[in-house]
Structure 1
Amino acid sequence: MSSERNIFNNLSPLDHRYSRGENFRLLSQYFSEEARFKWEARVELALIETLVDFGIAPKKAIDQMKKAVESINADEVYKEEEKTKHNTRALVNCLRENVDSEFRQYIHLGATSFDIVDTAAILRYKAFNDEVLIPALKELIEKISEVAYRERSTVQLGRTHGQAAVPVTFGYYMAGFVSRLGNRLESLENYSSELTGQFSGAVGAYNSLSLLVDNPVEFETVLLNKLDLNRSEHSTQIIPPEKITDYIHGIVSTFGVIADLSDDFRHLQRSEISETGEAFSEDQVGSSTMPQKRNPINFENIKSSWKVTVPKIITVYMDQLCEHQRDLTNSSSARYYPEIISHLFLAIKRLNKVMARLVLDHENLKRNLDNHKDMILAEPLYIMLAREGHPDAHEAVRKLTLKSEETGKKVLELAQEDEGLNKYFDKLTTAEKDILNNPANYTGAAINETVEIVNNWSDRLNIERTW
């Protein structure tokens, strides 16, 4: 094993394709095997510090342990594991080799493996969530908010079931993602804050600690406070899995919102729609054989990464099951949890770049609306007629749309020719008649609600409005 191994010799596309450069270095600080042992050693250090607090270990043990923690590396631990066949004991042995013999007895004293492993994993997830993931997601919400506010009055053809519906504004459409992602961000913060640690021994009943201190629960509390963690109300040899399950669920559901946005934008770049586009660099190639192609590669990549990630939540749910106080059926599967978090982070980073350079084709937005404006006035026409007393306005307008398709005449023209509708038309205001002549005016509360939503989430997330 060598840390100098070429990244392209790694097995996972997450390493050699999707997280090269700065992203790889950043993710490695939290989720690499090297980082795993560093975080576990940090918990072992907290144990030594707590043993000192309770008068069990001498104060000099802390400095000894700090040096040992700094010197630990995954290569040494794996070599030791070849002998022990136990990764935590291998880590402990490596730490013991780096302190004077008189302090070795205190390393891992009173602990079981998953006091260290589970607590260190929670530390990593919380740290990454709070230090990296939440700021990246907040940046994305800020970028989408800027687009929403800027395009708050830009009219877009609404679409339901893949069909032309009534108008919306592009800003209001984007505001929906601001709201959904803002909600998910707050959920991730809450889920992260609920994650707890443990230090309760082989079956969670504090058996070993009770031989060292009078109040083992207090010992656990003091130790976890050093790591800024709360203790689990009850644990076996592992932390109850529901809270990490909730957190990973939050990760996956957040990814779902991003995938939904990306899939929509992928379709909005279709040739027959062409309302938005990704910025295309001068040397970028869309197809190996069709030089004119400009594919929505970033949106497609995000959807594809989402497809890889979503099924992994099933494994997380399966890991809720543990036989009695402990089995090892999650020891392999839980190692893949960081991939779920990493894929979301990389998707957020990719989407941040795209949103910063998003291109809107306002002419095509208008064209697509105009191509359907004769039929999309059917809803406001029916509502207006019903409000003015027509006994079956929906059916009357439905028949007008069928007649329009048969004759080629416009719905509004047919409605105005219908003598049975004249008495209702006479009651309409000028503004209402303008809507029927130009459905672009039929956007309801979209503009005001866009501003309201963007301002709400900017305030809740402390985003400085620069737009």
Structure 2
Amino acid sequence: MQLTELNAISPIDGRYRTKTIPLASYFSEEALIKYRVLVEVEYFIALCKLPLPQLSEVNPDSFKELRAIYTNFSTEDALWIKETEKTTNHDVKAVEYFIKKQFDVLGLSNYKEFIHFGLTSQDINNTAIPLSTKEAFENVYLPGLVALIQKLKDLSVEWADVPMLARTHGQPASPTRLGKEILVFVERIEEQMRLLFNIPFAAKFGGATGNYNAHKVAYPTTDWKAFGTKFVEEILGLRHSFPTTQIEHYDHFAAFFDALKRINTILIDLDRDIWTYVSMDYFKQKIKAGEIGSSAMPHKVNPIDFENSEGNLGMANAIFEYLAAKLPVSRLQRDLTDSTVLRNIGVPIGHTIIAFEATLKGLNKLLLNEDKFAEDLDKNWAVVAEAIQTILRREGYPNPYEALKDLTRTNSVINRDSIHAFIETLDISDKIKTELKQITPSNYLGI
């Protein structure tokens, strides 16, 4: 059966395939194989540049051809490696055999045994996977998040002067501005991004148990630690973890996943707030010709984009949480449980990308219902009580809080007229009374 959107088990590769297909270049099995080939080839070139005595005669002109092994890597190459894996029962060894075959084609057969020299498979996996994740983060995740942040910034400016009744504990509270409430989410996300950017993509590279045993026994005078650090950090652009066991600690990966989870949690908060504003009629939604909101109720236009986003963010966070909790734990110098888990990094990132697009789509459909904002403010004149009692405190008026409390809790109707009538009963100057009467739910907005 050929994999299609209709028969895929995961919605990431099925229903949402068009949204997640950019991630295939980083998290698919073919992508993992390609990144392994990249690391193996660059490692061989680094050994040539060291140089190891036996590789000193390798012509640097051949480096371009060597790099073409991974830059021109094809699905057919990946299939050859997977077929070879059926015999080797070892995925990284199959990659080594593939590169050796390419060396024969390039006339480099004499140097084939320096492919994967002194390494264990985790030296390849623990560089290939952080590298692919780093590039997916930079090329797919960040552009999606930045686009969403920019939309929120644009809306915060567009709605900067829209007064809105705030609700704390679900009850009317001191008025605010719609643009400011949107800007809160921008600041929260950007603060998490500042923390996120301080988390390195770390990689292990040091042989079977992290000590360069095989390297040192073959070439005892070479500074292999310095070589490994230079290779990982200057050539691959990752952070070299040292010392390690056979595998990367994954502590930085855990921090990375936790950071992505926190950003997702903020977006869940945003989705739920906007969903609630839609239910309060603060927003209408643009209707696309032919779309149906409900199979039974023709009038409905549901906030499905925010619901879709919330669901996908929840799925992503569940997996991010597991990755962060599981990966740093490995028995003794290494067990194999990380292998299958690492293959799932693309899954929560996929759900996250789907959510980014859904939230952005929902935001683009919002139509401001300013009449409803104004109506809610006008129905809640009680919220100016805070302003009045604060000015009375300033003027030294006795027990102003209690006076306003009695007014707002005993009067059945609190409106402009009842507030102004109350002000007239106060033993204060006409100047202060005029000041108090200038306060309305629509202008008591703070900074």
Structure 2 stretches lacking a partner, 5+ long: none
Shift of residue 98 of structure 1?
3.1
Q: Indicate the residue corresponding to 2:321 in structure 1.
A: 314
Which amino acid letter does the alignment assign opposite residue 284 of structure 1? E
Whole-angstrom distance in 2 between the partners of 1:48 and 1:327: 27
Question: Residue 262 of structure 1 aligns with which residue?
Answer: 271
- C-alpha contact (below 8 Å) 2:261/2:321 kept by paired residues: no
Q: Distance in 2 between matches of 1:254 and 1:414?
A: 43
Matches within 5 A, 1:31-70: 31-56=27-52, 57=55, 58-59=57-58, 62=63, 65-69=66-70, 70=72
Question: 1:219 maps to what in 2?
Answer: 227
Q: Is the 8 A contact 1:274 1:364 kept in 2?
A: yes
Match of 1:209 in 2: 215
Distance in 2 (CA, whole Å) between partners of 1:417 and 1:142 is 46
Identical pairs, percent = 28
In structure 2, relative to structure 1, the CA distance for the partners of 1:338 and 1:149 (3 Å cut) is: same
Q: How far apart, in 2, do the equivalents of 1:200 and 1:284 lie?
A: 57
> Secondary structure of the residue that 2:130 maps to in structure 1?
helix
1:412 Cα shift?
A: 6.1
Matches within 5 A, 1:17-36: 17-20=15-18, 23-36=19-32
Q: CA deviation at 1:65?
A: 4.0
Determine helix, strand or coil for the equivalent of 1:288. Answer: coil
Pairing partner for 1:253 from 246, 262, 267: 262
Q: Determine if contact 1:298/1:354 at 8 Å carries over to the other structure.
A: yes
Asked if structure 1 preserves the Cα contact closer than 8 Å seen for 2:20 and 2:353, the reply is no
- Aligned equivalent of 1:391: 398
1:169 aligns with 177
Contact 2:203-2:248 at 8 Å conserved across structures = yes
Corresponding residue for residue 413 of structure 1:
418
8 Å Cα contact 2:258/2:321 also seen in 1:
no
Name the residue aligned to 1:444: 446
Post-superposition offset of 1:28: 0.9
Shift of 1:422: 1.5
Cα RMSD over matched residues? 2.3
Aligned partner of 2:13 in structure 1 is 15
Aligned pairs for 1:176-191 within 5 A: 176-191=184-199
Displacement of 1:158 in angstroms is 0.5
Distance in structure 1 (CA, Å) of the matches to 2:320 and 2:296: 38
Matched residues in 2 for 1:402 and 1:443: separation? 23
Instruction: Check 1:412–1:388 CA distance in 2 against 1; reply closer, same or farther (3 A cut).
Output: farther
Q: Distance in 1 between matches of 2:92 and 2:377?
A: 63
Give the counterpart of 2:145 among 127, 137, 143.
137
Tell me the distance in 2 between the aligned counterparts of 1:351 and 1:278.
13
* Pair 1:414–1:42, CA change in 2 (3 A): closer
Q: Does 1:116 align with 2:121?
A: no
Q: TM-score, normalised by structure 1?
A: 0.86
Instruction: State whether structure 2 residue 88 is matched by structure 1 residue 84.
Output: yes
Q: Deviations over 1:365-406 (max 9, x none)?
A: 11122222x22122212222222223322222222122113x
Distance (whole Å) between structure 2 residues aligned to residue 80 and residue 365 of structure 1: 66
CA pair 98-249 structure 1, distance change in 2 beyond 3 A = same
Task: Report the Cα offset of residue 97 of structure 1.
Answer: 3.1
Secondary structure of the residue aligned to 1:123 is: helix
Q: TM-score, normalised by structure 2?
A: 0.89
Contiguous gaps of at least 5 residues in structure 1: 446-467
Separation in structure 1 between the aligned mates of residue 386 and residue 16 of structure 2, nearest angstrom = 46
CA distance in 1, matches of 2:428, 2:151: 46
* Cα offset, 1:414, TM superposition: 6.4
Following TM superposition, by how much is the alpha carbon of 1:287 offset from its aligned partner in structure 2, in angstroms?
0.6
2:243 match: secondary structure: coil
The answer on whether the counterparts of 2:257 and 2:321 sit within 8 Å (CA) in structure 1 is: no
Residues 138, 185 of structure 1: 8 Å contact kept: no
Output the amino acid matched with 2:230.
V
Tell me the secondary structure at the aligned position of residue 338 of structure 2. coil
Q: What is the CA-CA distance between 1:321 and the residue it aligns to?
A: 1.1
Q: Is the 8 A contact 1:157 1:166 kept in 2?
A: yes
Describe the shift of the 1:404–1:410 C-alpha distance in structure 2 as closer, same or farther (beyond 3 A).
farther
Contact map agreement 1:157 1:168 (CA 8 A) in 2: yes
State the shift of 1:409 in Å. 5.8
1:378/1:242 CA distance change after superposition, 3 Å: same
Contact 2:176 2:445 (C-alpha < 8 Å) held by counterparts:
yes
Summarize deviations over 1:70-111 as a string: whole Å, max 9, x none.
Answer: 446433333222222222222222333333143431221111
Aligned to 1:95: 99
- Report whether the alignment pairs 1:230 with 2:239: yes
- Alignment coverage as a number of residue pairs: 431
Name the CA distance, whole Å, in 2 between partners of 1:292 and 1:350: 22
How far has the Cα of 1:299 moved from its partner? 0.3
The match for 1:338 among 329, 333, 346 is 346
SS at match of 2:173: strand
Report how far residue 239 of structure 1 moved.
Answer: 1.8
Q: C-alpha distance in 1, partners of 2:419/2:139?
A: 62
CA distance in 1: counterparts of 2:273 and 2:5, whole angstroms: 34
Bigger mean CA deviation after superposition, 143-152 or 423-432:
423-432
The farther-off stretch of 52-61 and 220-229 is 52-61
Corresponding residue for residue 459 of structure 1: none
Change (3 A) 1:14 1:397: same
Where does residue 163 of structure 2 map in the other structure? 155
Tell me the distance in 2 between the aligned counterparts of 1:209 and 1:277.
67
Letter in 1 for 2:445: T
CA shift in 2, pair 1:75/1:424, >3 Å: farther
Compute the displacement of 1:429 (Å). 5.9
